[in-house]
Amino acid sequence: MHHDTPEQLQEKARQLVAEYVSKVDDLKPKERTKIPSQDMPAQDPEVRVHNLDEVALGYTFEQAQVEAIRCLQCVKKTCVEDCPVRIDIPGFVNHIAHGNLDQAAGVIKEASLLPAICGRVCPQETQCQQNCAVGKALKDVEKSVAIGRLERFVADWERKTGKISVPEVKSATGKKVAVVGSGPAGLVVAADCRREGHHVTIFEAFHKLGGVLRYGIPEFRLPNDIIDKEIQTLSAMGVEFKTNFVVGKTRKLKDLMEKDGYDAVFIGVGAGLPIFMGIEGENLVGVFSANEYLTRANLMRAFDKGHADTPIYQSRKVAVLGGGNVAMDSARMAKRLGAENVYVVYRRTEVEMPARKEEVEHAKEEGIEFLFLQNAKRILGSEDGRVNAMECVRFELGEPDASGRRRPIQVPNSEFMLDVDTVIVAIGNGSNPLLTQSTPGINLNKWGNITVDENQKTSMDRVFAGGDIVLGAATVILAMGEGRRAAAAINKMLAEEIERERKQ
């Protein structure tokens, strides 16, 4: 597919701004929907497969303004209803249309703490942009107002112009909150509880903070300096961090409360347990869980050949099993780490693939090959125990199953061999068991996820939980939403306690 260069996109946007900006308040809906949607400028695929820099380059001010002018400012705000944290989308978009970026940032910040991250990784096409009136009028969800790109634009503008301010922290309450896990859920809880003046400590098992934002989602989709900035803000607010600290092993959860004096605990340990296929050959050298593969690449800097302590496995032909975002990230990372051929092996068709469309497009542009209606049957190895082939089998689609997707049915005698030296398994993640196994008294469901009430409270007194450990592998914005709710409940509980103590 042909894409305009960033310069061409900017030139077109400049012309559109000249045409529309002076009449921004007077345009009729029909005129607005005629304004072309603004493509995201991106790095050239042939260049980007050799670097880890961000693929999407972000809108210019002119592009953002044109895109914002497309918004119909609907009375029934479906975009807000479809946003898990209810950002006043028409409100901030209208500020961009009028060039008031400070105000736009203010509106977003009322509802979302991490807009630079959500603007990049939220599945907008199934959330805020899904029922956008512009997309509906043009009968194409991809032509909806690009709300995510606009959110990202405002957040980046704020960061680049040094306008991010450190939120105010109330005077010390003497109460202590422990946050276990530094993923998006934990970060949000830390910020919201610290604001109320409580002492907050984040305990993180890894040596770096950010959870999946850091070790899962690659730099080419979410640069590390954005996560660093969020952590710096928390640090400036006085949040304390303890890394290399596995709650449940380094210290038991109950000891944090009984011995270390924490008044409340939030558990946001995520869903980091890889699930394997259970097929022959999965223990061969050269088979990785997506989790391990991406963690080696992102966190241990395995791409930094010659310098990294944990060099990545040298691969020539890679099969990635699965069809979600994690599979796309693994495949695109493998390409960047030097693989010549990367196959995504998925047992249904492109239509059923859960990965975001944009990620699939990007992967295709980068030369990733998709093997639809196929799946791995067994992995074969050489005498020294290394992968040297994968036996696959073909599928066809039958009737819809419980998920509403058509069920893949194996085609008899359709086996064939795929020449690969690396297999990355990206078929899903289970809940992180380390903490829950060592914490009797915490109720789990049959998948090992922590069960909570409507305030994110667990079965244990003063212990709350949220994000993937509650939802199962979900999304950044849902994890943040749960964190927000938990923090509100923790703050309420501690405020009532302070009030009781004051009266005594």
Token digits for 181? Answer: 């896990």
Q: Whose structure tokens read 């599928």?
A: 395
Nearer to ligand FAD by C-beta: 90 or 466? 466
Distance CA 401, CA 408 (A): 9
Nearer to ligand FAD by C-beta: 5 or 451? 451
User: CB-based burial of residue 379 (10 Å sphere; 0-12 exposed, 13-18 middle, 19+ buried)?
Assistant: buried
Nearer to ligand FAD by C-beta: 67 or 329? 329
Least distance from ligand FAD to the Cβ atom of residue 362, Å: 12
Token digits for 192? Answer: 């919201």
Interface with ligand FAD by CB under 6 A: which residues?
121-122, 180-186, 203-206, 211-213, 216-217, 246-248, 268-270, 272, 294, 325-326, 329, 432, 434-435, 467-468, 474-477, 479
Which ranges in 299-411 belong to alpha helices (H)? 325-336, 357-365
Least distance from ligand FAD to the Cβ atom of residue 268, Å: 4
Nearest residue to 119 (alpha-carbon basis) of 426, 470, 358: 358
Q: At what angle do helices 325-336 and 357-365 cross, to 10 degrees?
A: 20
Per the CB < 8 A criterion, the answer to whether 452 and 466 are in contact is: yes
- Count other C-beta atoms under 10 Å from residue 281's C-beta: 20
Nearer to ligand FAD by C-beta: 16 or 202? 202
Strands (E), 262-321: 264-267, 273-274, 287-289, 317-321
Least distance from ligand FAD to the Cβ atom of residue 212, Å: 3
Least distance from ligand FAD to the Cβ atom of residue 213, Å: 6
Nearer to ligand FAD by C-beta: 115 or 184? 184
Least distance from ligand FAD to the Cβ atom of residue 324, Å: 8
Half-sphere exposure of 351 (CA within 13 A, CB side): 7
Q: Coil, strand or helix: which one is 427?
A: coil
Nearer to ligand FAD by C-beta: 129 or 475? 475
Least distance from ligand FAD to the Cβ atom of residue 475, Å: 3
Nearer to ligand FAD by C-beta: 247 or 373? 247
Least distance from ligand FAD to the Cβ atom of residue 83, Å: 13
